[in-house]
Structure 1
Amino acid sequence: MTDNTQGDATDANGGNPPEGKAILQALAAVGAGVGNNYCFKQLALLPASEVAVLRSALLLVLLAPGVFLSGRRQRVSLLELPIVARSLAEATATIFLLVSLAGLSVATVATFLMTIPLLATVAGAGFFEEKLGWRGGAFVALGFFGAALALGPIFESEPYYLAAAAFSAAMYTLRDVITRVWAQRGSPSHLAVGANLATLLVAAGLATTQAWHPLTIGQSGLLVIGVGLFLASNLLIIASTRNGRIAIIATTRYSAILWALAVDWIGYGLVPPTHTLIGAAIIVVAGFGLALHK
């Protein structure tokens, strides 16, 4: 990770940075993220607030050593406004994601999450003056069309869970934008701790209104595996966003829809309808087209 004061990774000549490392980090984050979603969908019988509390508490325990060590070098407070804002955005996104997984397939949720790179690309052009052009705009529009086609008739069947998934995607986009603006504030572990502390506090408040359900051994195992995948995905997302331009890194997430379709088929025997396959293909084409355009 380079240390600069511009809030943007640049090479020694002031040009755009090499994206290879950041792209690999983002691709690894995609795989871990899909696995995480599968694990937590398996826990859908439990209240989302309870799952969020347990996951966040375990993550905080795992992150504590890294935060302690980095905190001795970086005097960054978790109460700084940008870190608080980022933490609240991710906490909100996480809780609504868990809610949506309870009622939607992994592929449907992934389709909504695929709008994050589209929205992030627009944000990169609008707020960071990253060049998009008419071709880039066309690829973004094509991606949104693919997402709408992939979802198809489901818009009429699960409005509550669909709204939760859409709001989660919006909050994750806001998180990425805040991370991009304040790229040099705090280590990845600091940002992850802030996000999970906020999630823990918000979810704990929500959990007081619901009965607490004891976990089985199998559910405990899924929780631990999901936490490991979530931690890996979260830290890799932060690192990739810092090391590369947001419009480039965001496009690598499009591959998640393919993995999600495979998970639904292997894990639940769900065969995607034709419109979903076509929409997914359009999303992938749009994502890679946008990357090549950049």
Structure 2
Amino acid sequence: MSPIRRVRPASVTPEPLQPGDNLRGAGLMILSMMGFTCNDAIIKFVTQDLPLYQVMTLRGLSVMMFLVFVTRAQGGLRLRLPADARWPMVLRLLGEVGSTLLFLNALTRMAIADLTAVMQSLPLVVMLGAALFFNETLGWRRLSAVGVGLLGVLVILRPGSGTFGIWALVALGAMLMVALRDLSTRRFRRDVTSGTIAFYAAVTVTVTGFVLSMGQGWVMPGPGQIALILVGAGFLTVGYVCGVAAMRVGEISAVTPFRYTSLLIAIVIGFVLFGDFPDMWTWIGAALVVGAGIYTIWREAKLGRRR
């Protein structure tokens, strides 16, 4: 099926685009990427001494607590879902849990910049998914940009090299699960608040982490580790809320390219905290990926002026 073909499931009725929605969505996406990447760095650091699923559980409990306070500004949590939001929620939670498990396991074994570089194919996959399922047309120019971005990912991974191994494949699996999560988010009406969606995600991930932690065992965390987990949970809360809101404001093809900012943030954090610095091929691949994203933004703006 061509991604240019205009296809929309009968059950999907997206909200009309409002002036400035694309700009607001882009800003929310950048904040989301900063929150997620800072959280990733903290989790990578803490799991050097604590079991992964214990950290996942403690972080999840902290996120749930933060979300309760955050959602008060939205009138509180409204956990009762409309009938047409239940299946999208099931799909989103499947993507949330799957992506979290795969990503965190890859994070403990890969350089944070390399892992983030693998995840940069996500906006391309989401853009294609939006064209297939949400009637967002992609012309040949933006499809070409998608191809260039995918080439950049291949340059970063360099199949056959030491970079492309089992954990790179795990990271790619995480990316596909995140794409499922984000595309499912698009099916919610705006009366289902971002905080409610994020809270359901936090509960499901926390319960999953707790169940898996029973097989790993627990270690008594120190005060510094608890503080870091709380800070990480704060960053993750920002990532959750802003990420959900970003995917519901503006067009997916206009908002998702701003995910590429996470690569730059990860490179800086990886160098400062872990001493990891990308090699020449990673820089070249990143330039292709980011360049493709910038082009799609420019192209979207140009098309918007014609409407």
TM over 0.5: yes
Answering whether residue 289 of structure 2 is matched by residue 274 of structure 1, we say: no
Please identify which structure carries the higher helix content: 1
Q: Could you say which residue in structure 2 is the equivalent of 1:32?
A: 35
How do 1:226-265 residues align onto structure 2 when only pairs under 5 Å count?
226-265=232-271
Contact 2:77–2:195 (CA<8 Å) still a contact in 1? no
Instruction: Indicate whether 1:76 and 2:81 are aligned.
Output: yes
List per-residue Cα deviations over 1:223-259 (Å, max 9, x = no partner). 1111111100110011111111111110011121112
Residue matched to 2:14: 7
Q: 1:26 to 1:140 in 2, by over 3 A?
A: same
- Distance in 1, matches of 2:108 and 2:47, equals 5
**Alignment counterpart, residue 92 of structure 1, candidates 80, 91, 98:** 98
Percent sequence identity over matched residues?
24
Structure 1: runs of 5 or more not aligned: none
Letter in 1 for 2:43: F
2:153 to 147, 156, 161: 147
* Partner of residue 190, structure 2: 184
Q: Which residue of 2 aligns with 1:43?
A: 46
The aligned amino acid for 1:7 is P
1:9–1:243 contact (8 Å) kept in structure 2: no
Question: Does 1:53 find its partner at 2:54?
Answer: no
Q: Equivalents in 2 of 1:102, 1:250: separation in Å?
A: 26
Q: Distance in 1 between matches of 2:271 and 2:160?
A: 18
Find the aligned partners of 1:61 and 1:140 in 2 and give their Cα distance: 39
The one-letter amino acid paired with 2:110 is L
Query: How far apart, in 1, do the equivalents of 2:297 and 2:104 lie?
Result: 30
Aligned residues: 286
Q: 1:172-218 deviations in whole A, cap 9, x for unaligned?
A: 11010000122436211110111011111211221111121121222
Aligned residues of 2:149 and 2:293 also touching (Cα < 8 A): yes
1:190 corresponds to which letter in structure 2? T
- Closer/same/farther in 2, CA of residues 242 and 275 from structure 1, 3 Å limit: same
CA contact 2:79–2:196 (8 Å) conserved in 1: no
Residue in 1 aligned with 2:214?
Answer: 208
What TM-score does the superposition give when structure 2 sets the normalisation length? 0.86
Q: Kindly tell me: are residues 154 and 33 of structure 1, through their superposed partners in 2, closer, same or farther at Cα, counting changes over 3 Å? A: farther
Alpha-carbon deviation of 1:274? 0.5
TM-score (structure 1 length as normaliser): 0.89
Structure 1, residues 94-142: CA drift from partner, whole Å, max 9, x if none? 1221111100111111112211111000011111121111111111011
